[in-house]
Amino acid sequence: MCGIAGMVGPGSAQLVRVMTQALVHRGPDDVGYYDDPSSHVGLGMQRLSILDLEHGHQPMPNQDRSVWIVYNGEIFNSPELRRRLEQKQHRFVTDNSDTETLLQLYDDKQEDMLGDLNGMFAFVLHDKRRNLLFGARDRMGIKPLYYAKTPSAFAFASELKSLLTVPSLRRDLDRASLFHYLTLRFVPGTSSIVKGVSRLAPGHWFRYELETGKFETQRYWRPSFASQEERSVGEWTELVRTELRAAVQRWSLSDVPIGCSLSGGLDSSSIVGLLAESGHSKLKTYSLGFEGAAELDELPLARKVAERWGTDHHELILRPDDLLRDLLKMVWFLDEPYGGGLPSWYVFQFMHRDVKVGMTGTGGDELFGDYGRYIGLERRLAGQQAETAAPQASAWLDRCWPLVSSLVNRLPHGVGGWRARERWRHWPQIGRDPFQWEYVQAFYYFSDAMKRNEVLTGEGGEQSTDTTEFLRRLYEEADGVLPRDGLMQLALRTQLPEEFLFMTDRFSMAHSLEARVPFLDQVFVDMMLRIPAGVRTRPEDPKYLLRQAVRDLLPEELLHAPKRGFVLPTAQWLRGPLRPLTKRLLAPARLTEQGLFKPEFYARVVEPHLRGQADYHPQIWTLLMFQLWHSLYIERTLTQCPSFSWRELC
């Protein structure tokens, strides 16, 4: 695993060294540079040595030195690809470097090489023969790649903070990205939070022509449900077991020891069981518990899995104050605003003490029903069909809406009246749109109407496309039969890459640890997409197919344990230790000066919460995490991790 950076333009050799140094946490084992003065191209990389420790130095050239590559990731079918290329008379000079495999494959197939790759990757190569840069990101978006174009340069990097060291790049906020962040707590799509800086989308490649400056991107893979197959449930269960076992084996390819994050849930426990069953002796496992949260504690279940397979098991108990202590470090390493879960920081920090590679269960939820989030939409669609058959029900709703609306408008703050009022205010527009109603219900943070009416200043809200509409467009591109197909594709294109994999990459790399996600093995994902929606998941038990496939590997009590997750005590933090920070960063005077948010937000939302008159902690936490990011990246224009704590911001 590595951090990569590069630039085309005047002074690229010196600037790339600064950009690369900003990524040292991603690869502290080695550093390398490539400069081509004739084309003003510079490439740099920080290496975390996992495969071919001796011969994997980058940037790496092909044999005639006409193509140079910088590459972040692992290609898990590299051994198979090398054998195939050797049969075509390609000669390798390294023992097992997957970087050289990429170079040889590019020599053989150019852009068409991407269809052969199974792994996690972001790479860019300088093709001197074709006078261009060519880069790509893996299908699922496991590894990141940012890029920016200015009048005089083109630059790319693994992380936003690296690109922001380029002097010609302005740190201007992208208002549309902020608009979406307030609803989702993460930034979706190809636009980053900084205007002019883009993210290469998962499953896409780019090509930049050095002579003309022409830039283009193209999609080389999309999730598709078009080739679903008819098999019995038993046959699919057996195939899930076979393909997941093969995926775990592929993703355990390493020349250094590996460990497993073991939460006590079904996904991570399945990976541990399959690894141990395949012969990985003395496997190291790591579990996180939370002080004072026994009802959420999965340590006993994780311990049973560890005992079942005789792993070298380690446990860490986390206190809420630990999260506050490292809050600014997390905000810095995340690169972009993020208001979601933070405890994974400590899992990766804990694992880094012993290993360089850590397996996680990320992706299992999205492939197997995503907590059944499709259920409400499918029921509403069914209800819509019934309404068509019974139009009097629709007329009854029209007559009742003004009365219900007036009653909802009288709800006190403490009953969650703010969100309820917003939902009912827009009932005439959304009541008959199952997709929009489903997502308004899911807007736990801010709906589109809330953002425009209550939160953002005019410029910030009026020029942005509704987040609902942004999601709907992606949803409607799915080629599946049922809404659960559409929502699965939506999750694979938004929440999975730009929230969960985004957080996993940044937090693991902050501790120089390579996180691997075998559920997102390409062969396994393609197999999952072939399973008919009604078989792949069931409303009463979204993961029944996975549960059946691995039940002999896991303790009986784990198979039936409910899904748990650690909920940050943000409501208490905001009224307690974070109260001074909240009052400062969300104060009306500061909001007025900043010009992004309406100063009335403080009196309408923050003040009632601080007084204990309402519980608006999701909305306040979402804004507070953005304000912390804004303070570090925009106001202070930091170029390295802050050495001060959040208390000093007060």
Active site residues: 2
CA angle 332, 338, 343 (to 5 degrees): 80
Sheet holding 204-209, edge to edge: 60-61, 67-75, 119-127, 132-137, 204-209, 215-219
User: Residue 146 and residue 294: Cα distance in Å, rounded?
Assistant: 41
Beta strand pairing call for 67-75 and 153-157: unpaired
Contact 382, 491 (CB under 8 A): no
Contacts of 374 (CB under 8 A, 6+ apart): 482, 483, 484, 487, 488, 537
Helices (H), 169-232: 175-184
- In the chain, the amino acid numbered 518 is P
Neighbours of 96 (CB within 10 A): 16
Distances, alpha carbon 538 to alpha carbons 233, 431, 542, 557, in Å: 12, 26, 5, 21
DSSP annotation of 494? T
Strand order in the sheet with 197-199: 30-36, 41-47, 2-8, 153-157, 146-150, 197-199
Query: Using an 8 Å Cβ cutoff, are 170 and 195 in contact?
Result: yes
Residue 498 CB neighbours (<10 A): 24
CB 330 within 8 A of CB 302: no
Q: How far is CA 530 from CA 201, 367, 527, in A?
A: 23, 12, 5
User: Cα–Cα distance between 39 and 36 in angstroms, integer?
Assistant: 6
Would you state the structure tokens that stand for residue 442, as one six-digit string?
């899911």
Instruction: For residue 28, give the DSSP letter.
Output: B
Runs of H (alpha helix) within 494-562:
495, 502-510, 522-529, 533-536, 544-550, 556-559
The answer to whether the peptide bond before residue 59 is cis (omega within 30 degrees of 0) is yes
Burial class of residue 156 in the structure, from the number of CB atoms within 10 Å of its CB (0-12 exposed, 13-18 middle, 19+ buried)? buried
- Whose tokens are 């073991």? That residue is 262
The two three-digit tokens of residue 134, written as one number: 């060519």
Cα–Cα distance measured from residue 394 to residue 399, given in angstroms and rounded to the nearest whole number: 9
CB 499 within 8 A of CB 187: no
* Phi/psi of residue 223, nearest 5 degrees: -65, 135
